[in-house]
Each structure stands twice: as C-alpha cells, then as structure tokens.
Amino acid sequence: MPDWVPIVEEAAIAAGSGAKFFVDDIEVAVFRSDGTLYAIEGRCPHKGASLGNGTLENGQVMCPWHDWKFDLKTGSGLTSPSSAVASLAVRVNDGSIEIDRETLPQKTSLATNVDDGIHRYLVRYGSLGWVAVFGNVDKVECQHRDRVILQTHRGQELGEILSTPEELATQNNSDKPGGEVVRLAELDEVKAHEPRSRELTTQLIEDCSTVLAESEIDLAIVDGEVLFDGESAVLYFLGDSNPDAGPLVTDIAKRHGLERIELYPFIDPPEPAGGGCGKEGCGGGGCHS
C-alpha cells in the first residue's frame, strides 16, 4: 500500500528545474521536465553528488560533478548502464508534492567488509566546523591536519584531514561519501585564499544586511564564508527563511564577482555534504535563490 509523504509545495519546483529533499534520511531528487514531475534517488552512484543540483535536458539529468547522466523516468544509468538510481513514485495532492515512501531504496548497513574501491577520509570543513566522510577512487596521500581541496555540492572548499583511509578502515567505515577529496591544498593557495575570504565575507555581510533591512526582510546575517573556488559564498542567518531574500543576495553576488550566495539558517543549519534546511521550498542547496 502506498505511503505518501508530503515534501514541498508544488509551486516550489519550477519548470525545467530540480531540487533535493530528504525522506527518512534518504536523499531524493525531484524534477519538473516538460510539464511532468519525476523523482529519483538523490545521490549519484559514482561519487555521491546530489542529482537534485544537476542539469536537465531531454528527460535526463546530468550529475553536477562528473556529467554522468540518468533517465528521469526510470533512473537508468545512461553514462554507466551498470549504475542506476531508484525511480520513485511522485504525485501532487492538495497543492503539495508527495513521495511514496514504499518506493524509497532500502538503506544498506554501514557494517560491511566489501571493498568498493573508494578511499575515505574524515574531514572538517566550513566556517561552522562540520565533520563528514569524503572520498576518492584515487588515493590522495595526506596526513592528519593536512589541508585539502574538497568538492561539495556548494562548490570547491577547503577542508582539514582528521582521519586517513587507513585509520577509517580500522573502524570498518563504509559511509557513502558526502563529497570528494580532490587533492592536497598548496600552502600558498591557503595563504592567498583565507584573507581574501575574510575580507569579502565581511563586505558581503554588510551589503546583504543593508539590503535586507531596506526591504524590511527580517533576517539577521551573523556569519559567512567565501568558498575556495571564488565563485560561491555562504551566509548564515537568524530568523525565518524568506523567498524574497534570494534575488536580493544574488544581485549582491554579481556585484562582487561571485556566481551565487547561498543563505543557510545559523541555528540547526544543513551540512553541505547532506541536505536542505528542511524548510518548505528549500531545495537542499541552502535557502538561496
């Protein structure tokens, strides 16, 4: 028997777009393509990228990290036929998009001795100090406290190694990586990035706070960070999410040479390696435009 779970208002998924959500701690991706809603398992089986952030074209979604393609209707892997994702039942009921819980993929046990070929690292990252497992099929030689470049759904950012693959192996760790350890960070890269990030973050907080106040949007920007790729910034706020804030901070991003600014709640924010803030209309990439 179907077990329908509401996840978001129908209007939150615009034509030709997608978003990611969590149902029972399982990531799902929902898309509207050619007037039809589709839902599939949300993580790419290649390296764990969020398919909800992928590109839609001709009834397919392309992974934002390595361009693997999947059929929206069936979940079939078009780049790698042996790698498919689950197709989920989705419907609109009383203005809400719902997922049938019975079609969700079963969560696998984390306790396994099967070698899936992924080297796993425990990494601390982000200005709020998240800790998560990241991976790479190619081993990155590093040690405790080494700085590394990470790929998360937000973009490329700096992280700090806490445990290496050898250390995690003793814990029988098989967590699905939340992102990729790309490479070691060079010392001169870190020295160049960190002061620029601090300076630009301060300016972004000031500019966004001013614009939000002028627009009578009750959000207090209290912290933030500019990512290593220099294309994205994240600002953390106190208050309730407001959809009108997105276009305002996007204008400020362009003014400072950034592609985007994402807004995250400061209290109980989502981990970038995980999912959305849980508020209605948030696609999981932060409560941004």
Structure tokens at 116: 């899936």
Cα dist from 83 to 73, 86, 208, whole Å: 15, 10, 42
In a domain, 94, yes or no: yes
Residue identified by tokens 């192996």 is 169
Specify whether 193 is located in the same domain as 180.
no
Specify whether 196 is located in the same domain as 231.
yes
Under DSSP, is residue 134 helix (H, G, I), strand (E, B) or coil? Answer: strand
Domain termination residue (choose one: 103, 138, 166): 103
Cα dist from 193 to 152, 225, 226, 230, whole Å: 17, 11, 9, 9
In a domain, 137, yes or no: yes
Burial (CB < 10 A; 0-12, 13-18, 19+), residue 44, is buried
Specify whether 200 is located in the same domain as 157.
no
In a domain, 252, yes or no: yes
Q: What is the pLDDT along the chain (289 residues), one digit of tens a residue?
A: 889 999 999 988 999 999 988 888 788 999 999 999 999 999 888 767 789 888 998 999 998 877 899 999 999 999 888 788 999 999 999 999 999 999 998 754 434 445 567 888 999 999 888 888 898 888 899 999 999 999 887 889 999 999 888 877 665 566 678 789 999 999 999 999 999 999 999 999 999 999 999 999 988 999 999 999 888 899 999 988 788 888 888 889 999 999 888 888 887 666 665 433 333 333 333 343 3
C-beta of residue 98 within 8 angstroms of C-beta of residue 8:
no
Specify whether 194 is located in the same domain as 251.
yes
**How many domains does one find in the chain?**
3
Cite the DSSP H helix spans in 111-186: 165-169
Dihedral angle computed from the Cα positions of residues 78, 79, 82 and 88, in that order, rounded to the nearest 10 degrees: -50
Specify whether 13 is located in the same domain as 94.
yes
Residue 210 belongs to domain with CATH number: 3.30.300.20
Neighbours of 38 (CB within 10 A): 22
Q: Could you tell me the residue range of the domain that residue 39 belongs to?
A: 4-103
What residues contact residue 280 under an 8 Å CB cut-off, 6+ apart? 8, 9, 12
CA 114 to CA 172: how far, in whole Å?
10
